[in-house]
Structure 1
Amino acid sequence: MPEVVEETDPEGVDYGWVMQTTFVLTIVVGAPVVAVVFALSGVAVPTWTAKASFALRVGAVVWFLTAVCVYLYARRLDVATDDADADAE
């Protein structure tokens, strides 16, 4: 097995973690949200193009809100970790 070439120890928010978590949560949370919004909205979407457009518009809002929430969580977690490290010293 080859040796690990790169390792990161980010200071502050780990944006890689934020991006990966946003991706997964958007799929897990976004698909049901889009389906529920579609069912409850009563919007007529007769073609597959219209359905895809609807899903993209709703999914974009879900993605944006998920990204902001994940970032704020990561920042709060980082601040809490920094405070705990400062108290330990």
Structure 2
Amino acid sequence: MADPVATTTPDGVDFGWVMQVTFVVTILVGAPLVALLSTTVELSTWGARANFAIRVGAPIWLTTNVAAYLYAKYKREDAADDEQPDSAESTATDDE
């Protein structure tokens, strides 16, 4: 089996994961939403269609990105809290 090209161990939020989730969720949820909203607007030219997709798609992407980041940060903080012991008594070793 080939060795991995690169590995990462992020100390904080894994931004690669955030961007991947943003991409997938925006396509699965945002694209149909933009298509649905486009039925209420007159889009007679390709320029108007592209302009509409950017004006409506950008806020959807930004909202999705911020939500994914906050979720990752929240989950990271929960995982860090679970790893830390509550008191010094819980760190006793088996040597005692």
- TM-score tier after normalising by the smaller chain length: 0.7 to 0.9
- Provide the C-alpha distance between the structure 2 equivalents of 1:87 and 1:29, rounded to a whole number of angstroms: 40
Detail structure 1 runs of 4+ shifted over 6 Å in the superposition: none
Q: Structure 1: 5+ residue runs without aligned partners?
A: none
Over the aligned positions, Cα root-mean-square deviation in angstroms equals 1.5
| Cα distance in 2 for residues equivalent to 1:35 and 1:57 | 13
Aligned residues: 87
Larger Rg: 2
Q: Pick closer, same or farther for the CA change 1:3–1:51 going to 2, 3 Å.
A: same
2:24 counterpart of 1:18 = no
| CA distance in structure 2 between the aligned counterparts of 1:47 and 1:3, rounded to whole angstroms | 51
Q: Is residue 68 of structure 1 aligned with residue 66 of structure 2?
A: yes
Match of 2:32 in 1: 32
What TM-score results when the alignment is normalised by the length of structure 2? 0.82
TM score, norm. by length of structure 1: 0.88
Which of 32, 46, 55 in structure 1 is aligned with 2:44? Answer: 46
CA deviations on 1:13-64 (whole Å, 9 max, x unpaired) are: 001101111111111111111012122xx32211122112101111111100
Identity %: 48
Q: Which residue does 1:3 correspond to in 2?
A: 3
- Please state which structure has a larger fraction of its residues in helix: 1
Runs of 5+ in structure 2 lacking a partner?
Answer: 92-96
The range that moved more, 75-84 or 42-51, is: 42-51
Q: How many angstroms apart in 2 are the aligned matches of 1:79 and 1:51?
A: 42
RCO higher in structure (CA 8 A, sep ≥6): 1
